[in-house]
Every structure is written in structure tokens, then in C-alpha cells.
Structure 1
Amino acid sequence: MFRLLDLLISLVLLTLVPRINCLQNGTLAKLKRFVNCEAKNYKPSEVIYRDYWVLQNYVLAGHGSIPCYANVTYTSHADYRYLDNVVPLLERWRSPLSLAIYAPGTDFEPTIRSILYLLQCHPGKHLVRELCSFHLYFDVEHLPQVVLPPDTSLREQANCSGPAPYENVVKSDMYRTRNTLNYPVNIGRNIARRASLTHYVLASDIELYPTPGLVRDFLNFLGRQVLGVPGQQRTSPMVHALRIFEVKANVSVPSSKSELQELLKSGEAVPFHMEICEVCHRGPGLEEWINASVVSKELNVFNVGRRSENNSNWEPIFLGTVDDPPYDERLTWEGQRDKMTQAYAMCVLDYEFHILDNAFLVHKPGIKQPGYRKTIFSQTRRTDGLISRKISKELRMMYGFRDGCVI
């Protein structure tokens, strides 16, 4: 009875995922013709990468192999404390999620239990099973005691009667905290993006929730306007940036720009990190974007910017591709500036950031306060030194130099 119910729910979910039959006439054919990509082998694998052991595709999504040109993958990173965001994210995204989880030492066991809880117990488990690929990674010097093959590990039964293992976790009790391990955020970002089965990706943070229907609208938008005419080449590479906002803890995440505008007027929503690092997320034309009336239900470009001059410290999050510059894996979350090196490379390469009009990201409810920055980022000097002594020179050797581009 329960298996039949699971099957019926899964079939319903398949109609909600923005696949081929949700695209406008001719869009799929255009995507297939113009997107230069190849299908990847979708199976679990183990690799030693730098100083980490990576279990890629440890949990496979139920969607199986998909055409690389016909969808968009949300690529992200986390440790198990943040897995409460998986279902809220998927409820809005409804497309593939490639998630890299840092799980050193004894953090590996609660990570597995958390994944099993999402797959077996959570009311949104069908979304997780269908859409989410999990990749696990840990330092080779901080191995778990036991790493079972995925087929064996995933046959274990989760404890559905108790709280989720990722709830109410005390950070000081975690293995990585007790062993003073920095969070290798950019390793996770690159693992998740490399594992994407699709050419187009949204490389973002797991607490940032997208506008519902974004993938469908974006692919239709590409089919209408962006892919162009055969033989025409753009003079500059291009990605599509998303505005980012925060809402108060007791406020629901808005699903449309008109809802967002009302929350901004009432003070229940604010631009992302405006009290922590305003220049990092403002970007060009923010006020005009906020105050613009919503006319078209279709997705369009509101304005175009570059990461230079007045926006030289901008850290845009964008719909791009697996071929965009990678994140520097020597930079950790604790040291801050972890996305700045990628942004510098994109500046030198003269990337255009086409900011979308009716799509955005909203952080999990709860607005960060200025004190948050002071209590967390204790290693910025080390990062600043590493960038100035070594990384900046390497970036100039690899990508060159352009006036107005800064790290």
C-alpha cells in the first residue's frame, strides 16, 4: 500500500519538474542545437582530490541521466547542519540539485543519518529522491572510521520517530570544530559544479531559495533571446545574475517580485547583507530594479553590468555554465573573500552580468546583523595575505590584467 502511494506521488512530482514538455515550442530544439555539451557518466565514484577523499554521486537522484542541454542544476555545498534547507529549496527549484557535503571524521555518521532521514522520513522525501545528488568529501587525514558502499549504506533504516539528525546540532560538538578544521567551501562548490549533469548551473548557497519556476522561465528565455543565430559569436562571455534579498525570521519567502516589493516597502525584507557587506551584493541599478513595476510575466534582462569600477567588489550569484572560472580551493569560508578570486577572473575576461528582472534569490528567513561578521571571520588576515602574496600573482599570470578589476 505504502509503496503504491510512493509511486503515485513520484508520478505527480514528475509533472512538476520543468522538463522538456514544459518548454515553449522549439525551445528544446534550439537548446540542443546551440549548447555545446556532452552527457556525463552518471554513477558513484571515489577519487582522491588534493587533500580530500571525494565520494561523488554517493546518492544518485532518481531522475537518472538527463540531456545536458535541457535543464539547469542548482549546485551547492553544506555540512549536515544545513540539510534542513534541502526540501524548502527543492520545493521552489523543482530541478536537479548537486550537493557536496563536508563530512570529516565522526561527522560522517550523522551526515549519513541526515541523508537517510531526508530520503525516508521527511514529508518532502519524494522531491529529495527524485532531484538531489549527494556528494561527500573529507580530509584524507580525517577519515571516517567506516565508509560503507552507497548500496549498503542506503539500505539502512532511518529513525523516523525522532527529530531529524540535522536539527539542533551544537557546532562546538562537531568533529570539525573539535579538530579546528576550516570549512573548505570552495572545494565543495567545485565538486558540486563538476558533478552537474547539465551545462547550465546555478552555483549558489543552500540557504538561498530561488523564485519558483525559474528553470522553466530561464530555458524559455534562452530559447527566445539569448542563443542567437548560428555563426554569430559574442564579443564577451555572459552569465545571468540574480538579485539577492533577506526577510525577517517570521516572514514567508516571497514567490514573486510583486510580493517581494511589498515586503521591501514594509521593511520586512531587505537587500542581502546590506548591514554586513553592502558593496558585495549591491551591484548596478539595485534601486531601479526594486522600484520597477512588474510588467511582463516572462523572464527578461533588466540591466547589464560588469564587475569593475563602481562594482569592483561585487560578488554576484548567477546562472552560468560548468565552463565558467572555478573557485580558488585554498580559500575557506572562515577567511572570507572566498568568491572574490572567481569574480576577478570574470572581470578580466570581460564577463557581462545580465541581471534578470523577475527572478531573484531569498535567504532562509532571518536577517543577519552586523555583529555576525565580527564573531565569525577571525582568519581574514591570513586570507588577505595569501591573496596578496600568491593568488593575485597567479591570477594575473592565468587571466591577465584589466583596468578596474580588483580582488
Structure 2
Amino acid sequence: MIPTVVWGTGNVGRLAIRAVEAHPALHLAAVIVHRPDKVGRDAGRLAGLDHDTGVIATDDAEAVLATRPRAVVYAATGDVRPDGALADVTRAIRAGAVVVSPALYPLYDHRSAPPEFREPVAAAIAAGGGSLFASGVDPGWGNDVLPLLVSGLGTAIDGIRCQEVFDYSTYDQPDSVRDLVGMGRPMDHQPMMLLPSVPTMVWGGQIRMMARALGVELDEIRETVDRRPLETTVTTRTMGVFEAGTQGAIRFEVQGIVDGEPRLVIEHVTRIHPSCAPDWPVPPDGGDGAHRVVIEGRPRIEVTVEATDEGENRSAGGNATAVGRLVGAIDWLVDAEPGLYDALDIPLRPAVGRLGRKRP
């Protein structure tokens, strides 16, 4: 079995622990945490499992990497600390590990990544013999392999739209929701995620990957952003009160322009409460989240994916499918040559050995 480390135990990390535990080819070897109150706790409890795993969380990353684990799921955030995330990932690669991670947005399409991101990773691969596969928690497959797979069912394609529609009132990540995205902040506050060029930094790589796979040239990548205030004060289960008049919903698009038209679009419609912007797209069943791919053309094709985890939590379900894609790639990457891989390199494979397997 492949000794695998999970680095970080937040919304993505606890799902990664479960995914590693469930995978028949992987063995949970260690868990790295940052918060002092998590040190010394069993990984199973940190992941919300009903049993201990025997793996005790540590904050000593150097000691863990010194054991030269074969694989690392890097689940620590890179949203507000991209340099720190890049440094951690390159350390793991230099230790010879295959690394899978959603944290490094510019490397989703490494061919178009800035040199300051790509070159340190390439140097680490050359020095240590590890690999990296970076893909998103949007989930990533909803913006790359799924739309491309479905596009092959059409006769003529006019455009592709990848859409995430989410109510984040059940999402337990206030730093991202309040600070990065700006929910609950005054409408004159400029959220970091909505600064000009930032959406393209995060999702532009997936636009470029789709264009490359479809064999089309992009004229440019454009952004559109719309924001709505809350009309009434709301209280969420996980993140508390959001006041009336503050930002309650955002809608933005990252558009790949082909022959002057937006042909490849990644769209996010995000709310902190379903009462905000009710005229915007909503999940088909009125729930709290969905991912949709629309192929405009002949025929018109629409695919909606809804995933739940941790009860009926669709925000966790979306993360869980993204984690499943990353963790499911580990054994393939271990058998492949060392290198820097993207979503088009990693095949989609059946869940071999997992049908009927007891849940962790």
C-alpha cells in the first residue's frame, strides 16, 4: 500500500483523511496540522469519523517528510498564503512525494503558470523525483474533464458554460466566506477574490485547458462581476449573523473569448442565504448547491451534479468529489514518471476495489 500523508485538516483535509482511509491502494501514514489544539489528536476524530485510526496528528512537517512518504495530499489553504503553500508543496516534492492539492491555483494549468510558480516546482521535481497534480475544489472536474467529456456527445458546439450555484450558509470557513469573498461586508468593501484579474488567476487556467483540449485559440479572457446586498439580517448555522445591507450574493464569470464571443465560461453564483438574489440561478431542487455544465449547440446538453456529504451538506459534497478526484489519482501518479501534471493528463478511472467497501 502507498504511505500517504494528509497535510491540513480543515474543510478539505478532513475529507481527504476519509478518502485515503477508504482507498484500497493507500495507507494513511501521517497527518500534519497547524493549530496547536489539533496536535496529539487522532486523525479519525479530526476527520469526524466514529473511530480512531491510530494516526496521531503532528505539527512537525520536517519529521514527517524525513520519512519520505510516497504521497502527500496537501489540503492546507493557499487562498491568502500562496507563497507558503508553494514552499510546503515543493518541500514535499523534494522529499520524493507525489503531491495532489487544490491550493495552487496558477498550477491548475501549469503550461500557462507564471514562472515564479512553475519554476520552483520543476526544480523540486528534478531534485527529489516527486510529482504534482493541482486541481480545484470548485470542484475541479466540473470545469475541465466533465465539460470536455460531455462536449464529445454533441454534433456542433456553440459554447460551454460551467456553473457553480451555492448557498454558503452551511459552509464553515469564515475566513474565506467573509474576508476572501466578502459576504457580510459593506457593499463598498472590495473583496480580494473579486479584485480585477483575480478570478482569471484562479479559473483562467481551466479556461485555457478547455481551449487547448478543444483545439481553439483564445482571443482573451474577460471577467464580469455582479454583487447584491442582503435585504434582511440573516443568521447562519455555522458562521453567525450577516447584517441587512451587507453583501449577500455574488455572481461572476470568467469568459474565454473565441472569435469575439464568450464561448467558454466558468460562472459562480454564490449566496450566504437563499433569500438574496432570488432571480439568479438556483439549484434545480431548491437545495443549497449544485454544479452544472451546459453545452450550447446541437443538441443542447445540460448536466447537473449534486453531491452531499456530512449529512445533507452539499458544500461538503462538492469538496468531497474534488478530494475524490485528487486522492483517486495518487496510485496512477506513483506509477507515472515524475512530473507536473494537469487534469487532462490524469485519466478518469472507475472506483476499483471500492464498490461495497465499508465506509471509513
On whether the aligned pair clears a TM of 0.5, the verdict is no
Based on CA coordinates, which of the two structures has the bigger radius of gyration? Answer: 1
TM-score, normalised to structure 2, is 0.30
Structure number with higher strand proportion: 2
